[in-house]
Amino acid sequence: MSSPSKSINVAIVGGGFGGLALLIGLQKYPHINAQVYESSPKTSDLGAGAVLGPNSQRAMSLIDPRIFEGFQKRAAFAVDEPDENGLYPWITVVKGEEPNIGEQVMQFKHKVKGSTIHRAHFLDELAKLIEPGRISFDKHLVEIQENGEDKPVILSFKDGTTAKADVVIGADGIHSRIRKYVLGPNHPAAEATFTGAIIHRAVVPIQKAKDLLGEENVKQDFTIRNGKDGLVFAFPMANNTLYYLGVTTFRNEPVERDQWISSPNITILNEKFATYSDFVRKQVSLVPNDGSTLGWSIWEMPPPPTYVKGRVVIMGDAAHAATPFQGVGASQAIEDALVLEKLLGKYHDPTKKSIYRFSPVETTKLVLEVYDTVRRFRSLKIATKSSETGRILTGAEPGVSMNAADIRDQMKGRQDWVWDCDQEGQVKDAYLLFEERQFAAARNEISRNTGIQKAEKPPAAASPPVATETEKPPMGKPSTRDAMRYMLYSSKTKFRTMLKSH
């Protein structure tokens, strides 16, 4: 093991929410040189609305408070007053078709005021926070090469240019090339699969929506009207000046990967929603027939066994693309960025002394492995639950009818564990896991080099350290994190003794 170098080069492939948030977070570390490589010729103005829940808003603040400030500046917030418990409506589900047509199935609420944002507006705010020269546009990745641990990873682009990096982070979306590299091109989870859903996204002036639908009916942040043949998502955005519609239908025919965007057939849309409520049919009529609206096929990723290969890792949709049926996909890219930023920033800092002598490559690999462990289970569970939500809302989930009561029973609590995730705790867990694995690796090397027998568990100190009055924690049962911290403290104390004697 050797001492860490002065800095590391981080290449982020993809300039969406997650990639740009990660870049902003890494900018503050003088020992990290981060660069985004984006395939489009400029920061994209494509897309439409996005829901970034309380979990992602907290993650934004932890990466850089300015990200959340920019979000607040451009988001549309709920106009409803909180209920008697101080909770604001976030997502409302209403039956759009018989049985129980027009009945409110349920409403998800939270103490944080509901909000939505136009994708292009949020990207614009993120771009304002990025230092000049840190984004390279029109970079279509064609190949990744790792030529040994002592050499940088080589990225080759379609325009003939190359880039070198110590760490490569794939934030290149659902049709990710880096995912194929990480898993292998023939791995069953390397390619996205078509869900059968097509979402026709439309953005219209909010006054036009109010004139047709009634002002009271367009004030909700995120309303879903569901039925057997499709769903309509709707919410205001852009400081309540625009109205977003996501008219979703289903088809049995496959969609080719190079044809995943198409123009909607308005006649077919009207036929699909002919049995829905008058309100839904009015919503569908807002979809323009002038070619300005596109139909986007909805794809999802089979769960991969890992997010990492060597010094290459995937995040966001490249790792765990989720369907839009629960409004949770974009938030997971922000959570990914938070954990990666904190791990890379903390453990690659050469100014901070460590009792372990890990090389930069060893540190990088361990950082990415810990990120994979901390983030993969939660993000994949969220993606799985979102797909399940889509099936429940459209009567495709076995054993669940289209009756409002059945749907309500299945949907209870579906958002709480997503929104109320302890973001600070997620980072602390990553730190503890890194240090635990770092200790284990160092202990094993000492054992190999000195012949000391490997212990099954880190050795405990003879007696706990004595805390001063100001350091003593409040009385009560110690948390799991407290126990892990004490175990690591005890282990490091013994490890220092081992280092001095060998």
Just list the catalytic residues.
201
Q: Which of 410, 382, 379 is nearest to 397 (CA)?
A: 410
Strand spans (E) along 60-205: 76-77, 88-95, 104-110, 115-118, 135-136, 141-146, 153-157, 162-165, 167-170, 193-205
Sign of CA dihedral 334, 339, 345, 348: negative
What six digits make up the tokens of 470? 């100001």
- Residue 338 phi/psi, 5-degree rounding, is -60, -50
Cβ atoms within 10 A of the Cβ of 125, count? Answer: 21
DSSP-derived letter for residue 40 is: S
Please name the residue ranges forming H helices in 214-328. Answer: 266-272, 278-285, 317-320
Neighbour-count burial of 27, counting CB atoms closer than 10 A to its CB (0-12 exposed, 13-18 middle, 19+ buried): middle
Alpha-carbon span 50 to 61, nearest angstrom? 18
- Do the beta carbons of residue 155 and residue 86 sit within 8 Å? no
What is the Cβ-side half-sphere exposure of residue 287, based on CA atoms within 13 angstroms? 27
What six digits make up the tokens of 168? 């490569």
Q: Give the Cα-Cα-Cα angle 476, 480, 485 (nearest 5 degrees).
A: 100
Q: 3-state class of 170 per DSSP?
A: strand
**CA 325 centroid distance within chain:** 15
**SS3 sequence, 109-144?**
EECCCCEEEEHHHHHHHHHHCCCCCCEECCCCEEEE
AA letter at 173: G
Q: Which of 222, 138, 165, 169 is nearest to 21 (CA)?
A: 169
Annotate 303-337 with DSSP letters as a single string. PPS-SEETTEEE-THHHH---GGGS-HHHHHHHHH
In this structure, the strands spanning 193-205 and 76-77 are unpaired
Cβ atoms within 10 A of the Cβ of 395, count? Answer: 17
Q: Which position has the token pair 């100190």?
A: 461
Q: List the end-to-end C-alpha distance of the chain, in Å, as a whole number.
A: 15
